[in-house]
Every structure is written in C-alpha cells, then in structure tokens.
C-alpha cells in the first residue's frame, strides 16, 4: 500500500451553547463555566487515505459528513484529534465558497485561485484551460450573481482541478450540474486517480460512489459505523435506510466464494426460497448465458404470515454495481393480493439476454408497494450471479446489446 497522504486521528468536533456571550468568554479562562448545551457533530473519527485511493463518505443528512470535510480542509478546527496531510489539497465544499457574486468568472478565478495559494502569473497561465473546461461561453466574463447553480459548479470544479491535486475533496457540488458536465468531471477525477491523486467524495448517489471509490465510510451520528469495500458498505447503508422505516427489519451480510458480496435484509414475513435462471426453450439451468439467448428467471417465494399485498422487484447490476435494468410488479400492474400464511408463490421473469459480455447480479426485493420503505419483507443484493458471453454476434462493447446496423452510402445523398 502506498504511503498515507491524509491521516485523520481521533478527530471530534463539539459545538456548544452558553447562556450568554459573557459566559462563553469566561469559559476560555475558567473551566468551571460549563455550556448549557453541547452537540458533537463528529466523534472520534480515524482513517487514512493513500495515493490513488478513493474514499466516499456516506450517511443520512446530519451524519457529520460535511463537518468532517471542513475539519480535514481546515475551515473548522477540531475540538480533539489531529488531521495531517501531505501535498496539495483541493476542495469543493460549497457553491460560491471563496467567490464574489459581483465579480465576473474570470476575476473570481484570480481571487479564489489566490486564496488557494496560486501565484497570479500561474493563474494567468491556467485561465485558458479553466475557461475551456468550464464551457461557460460569454458568461465567463459576466458577474456570478447571474450564474445558475450548475454554472457555479462548472467554475468551481474547473478551478479546483486546474492542476492535479494530491488530494481532491468533493462534497455533493457536482449533483447540481447537468449530466454532460458530470460525465466530463468524473472522467477528470478518474484520470487524476489513475495518476496518483487521492479522492475524498461525498454523495447521495450510490452509483457514483460505487463507480469512483474503492472504499466507503458510513457515518451515523458523527461516528464511523462501517468502513469497508464499496459494495459491502453501500448495501449495508441501503438496508439501514429500510430498517429505519421497518422496525422489525433484520440485516445479514456475507462475502460469497465467487467474490460477490450478498446483503439480505427485511422482516422475512415473505422470503425467497429459490432463484434460478433458465433457458426459455429447454428449461435447463443457466449460469453462463449467450448474448441474445431467451431466458427465464424463476423465483419461488414462501409466506410466513398473511400478506395483504405482495410486490416483487428486480434489479440487474453489472460487476461494478451499476444498475443495468430494474422494475417491479407494482409498475407492471401485477400485484398479488391477500396471500395466506404458508403459501407458495412462483414468479417468472422472461427476457432476452440483450446484455454485453461480463458478469451480472440479480437483486430481488419483496415489498408491499413500489418502495421498500413501507414493508420490506426481504431484499437480497446479489442473490444470483451469472455470466454473459458473446458467441454469435459481431464484437461490441458495453453492457447493452443494441440491435444496431450500419448503413454506408457513397456519393451525394
């Protein structure tokens, strides 16, 4: 493992409320003066970040993610603990931070770039590249007060990544940008990682977390609840969200021999007995499917109590955890009603294997509506895994096999 580029050791942040400003002033000199209230936004957080590593901070609102980033960047001082960094840290924490709304984009680059430690002559050299990457057009020379939030994000990211930092910290700011600029920004982040930059990333988009980060820290009430590989911690977080709405929800996790991580959560009042992938023509079990093959997913469910309304949801994800396809029987108007206790229910999902070569996982969910927040009977991430090979089609890349054809004409048309 490469040396630490960021070390966070037992960091905590406490916010206090005193009866008066005079009482707060007295507390600086007299430790007997105690606050009326105190709130720990971050409690005893420790972790190391290495060169080329991507770590995501996830958790519900108020978990302490943004406060922790402010402690790491030095905009807030910790009550206890230490933060040590090696090299240049570039952070995008809040839209407009360090910008003056009355100045235009160009002048704000000089002002904010100066605050980041860039000499004026270096900023002058970087301006053309910043302007080109931000793609703001004439707005680059207009006041920031006329910018949209997406334009703010373009300018902030372009400045923060004008040179490759040793540590890049991004807090949700890209979520306000358009999809084109998000893709462009993520490509730059991936390139920086490949070249050795470390990434500290906060996002509520779990697909972005899986795509960009090797490791995830799950924060809850200011503490690290879980620290581990992205697939494990993201699935754990999704299960915890369901558990908050379903008090009787259970949670089980295990790493399977094939390397896929399986998370099972729910009340288990209805649960999956078996799942099979079958060849639609022969009914034989399939573990490696061919592109274009007609398939049937067969799921057997057992109820352990009367279920007024049962919905099956299916998610198909690729090896990196990106969602390829998903729906449920609520959306297809095939809800099963008034199912008695100890009843067997069999679901069939028929589909052509219009997938690209690779490994895919099936994640089924048993609920009572279009969401697992009302009743999460059972949710199994990566319940079944299968491979896809291309044996009969021309070579193509990606996770989707489109029925596309080239047409070529010579001469004027």
pLDDT tens figures, 362-410: 999 999 988 877 788 999 999 999 999 999 899 999 899 998 889 999 9
* Torsions phi, psi for 342 (to 5 deg): 60, 30
Residue 352: band (very low, low, confident or very high) from pLDDT cuts 50, 70, 90: very high
Alpha carbon separation from 119 to 112, 122, 132, 310 (Å, rounded): 11, 5, 20, 63
Distance between CA atoms of 378 and 251, rounded to whole angstroms?
A: 10
Residue 95: band (very low, low, confident or very high) from pLDDT cuts 50, 70, 90: low
pLDDT in tens, 40-77: 999 999 999 999 999 999 998 889 998 999 999 888 99
- pTM for the model: 0.75
Q: Classify residue 303 as exposed, middle or buried by CB count within 10 Å of its CB (0-12, 13-18, 19+).
A: buried
pLDDT in tens, 150-183: 888 899 889 989 999 999 998 876 666 677 888 8
Class of the CATH domain delimited by 4-226: alpha beta
Average the pLDDT over 287-296 and give the result: 96
Show the tokens assigned to 70: 């402010």
* Mean per-residue pLDDT over the chain, rounded: 89
Residue 317: band (very low, low, confident or very high) from pLDDT cuts 50, 70, 90: very high
pLDDT at 146: 93
Average the pLDDT over 109-114 and give the result: 90
Q: Candidates 2.40.33.10, 3.40.50.920, 2.70.50.60, 2.40.160.40; correct CATH number of 246-389? A: 2.70.50.60
Distance between CA atoms of 253 and 234, rounded to whole angstroms?
A: 12
Per-domain residue ranges of the chain: 4-226, 246-389
pLDDT at 236: 87
Is residue 241 predicted with pLDDT exceeding 80? no
Average the pLDDT over 37-42 and give the result: 88
pLDDT at 262: 84
Average the pLDDT over 12-25 and give the result: 83
pLDDT at 339: 95
Is residue 247 predicted with pLDDT exceeding 60? no
pLDDT in tens, 189-239: 999 999 999 999 988 888 888 888 989 999 999 999 999 998 889 888 888
Beta bridge partners of residue 367, listed in sequence order: 311, 376
pLDDT at 248: 62
pLDDT at 320: 81
């Amino acid at each position: 493992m490469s040396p630490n580029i960021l070390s966070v050791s037992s960091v905590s942040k406490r916010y206090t409320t005193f009866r008066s400003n005079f009482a707060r002033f007295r507390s600086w000199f007299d430790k007997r003066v105690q606050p009326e209230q105190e709130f720990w936004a971050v409690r005893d957080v420790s972790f190391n970040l290495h060169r080329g590593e991507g770590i995501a901070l996830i958790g519900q609102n108020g978990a302490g993610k943004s406060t922790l980033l402010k402690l790491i960047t030095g905009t807030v001082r910790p009550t206890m603990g230490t933060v040590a960094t090696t090299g240049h840290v570039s952070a995008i924490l809040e839209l407009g931070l360090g910008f003056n709304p009355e100045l235009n984009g160009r002048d704000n680059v000089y002002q904010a770039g100066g605050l980041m430690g860039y000499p004026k002559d270096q900023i002058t050299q970087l301006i053309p590249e910043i302007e080109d990457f931000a793609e703001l057009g004439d707005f680059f020379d207009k006041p920031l007060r006329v910018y949209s939030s997406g334009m703010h994000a373009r300018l902030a990211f372009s400045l923060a990544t004008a040179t490759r930092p040793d540590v890049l910290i991004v807090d949700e700011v890209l979520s306000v940008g358009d999809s084109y600029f998000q893709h462009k920004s993520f490509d730059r982040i991936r390139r920086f990682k490949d070249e050795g930059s470390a990434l500290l990333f906060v996002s509520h988009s779990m697909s972005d977390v899986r795509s960009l980060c090797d490791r995830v820290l799950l924060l809850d009430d200011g503490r690290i609840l879980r620290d581990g590989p992205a697939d494990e911690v993201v699935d754990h977080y999704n299960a915890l969200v369901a558990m908050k709405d379903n008090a009787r929800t259970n949670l089980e996790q295990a790493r399977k021999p094939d390397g896929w991580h399986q998370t099972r959560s729910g009340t288990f009042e209805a649960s999956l007995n078996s799942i099979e992938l079958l060849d639609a023509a022969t009914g034989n079990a399939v573990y490696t499917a061919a592109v274009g093959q007609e398939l049937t997913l067969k799921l057997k469910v057992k109820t352990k109590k009367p279920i007024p309304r049962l919905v099956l949801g299916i998610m198909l994800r690729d090896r990196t955890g990106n969602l390829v396809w998903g729906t449920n029987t609520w959306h297809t108007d095939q809800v099963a009603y008034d199912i008695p206790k100890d009843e067997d229910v069999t679901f069939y999902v028929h589909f052509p294997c219009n997938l690209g070569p690779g490994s895919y996982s099936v994640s089924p969910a048993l609920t009572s509506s279009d969401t697992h927040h009302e009743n999460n009977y059972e949710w199994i991430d990566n319940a079944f895994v299968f491979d896809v090979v291309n044996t009969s089609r021309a070579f193509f890349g990606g996770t989707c096999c489109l029925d596309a054809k080239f047409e070529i004409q010579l001469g004027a048309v």
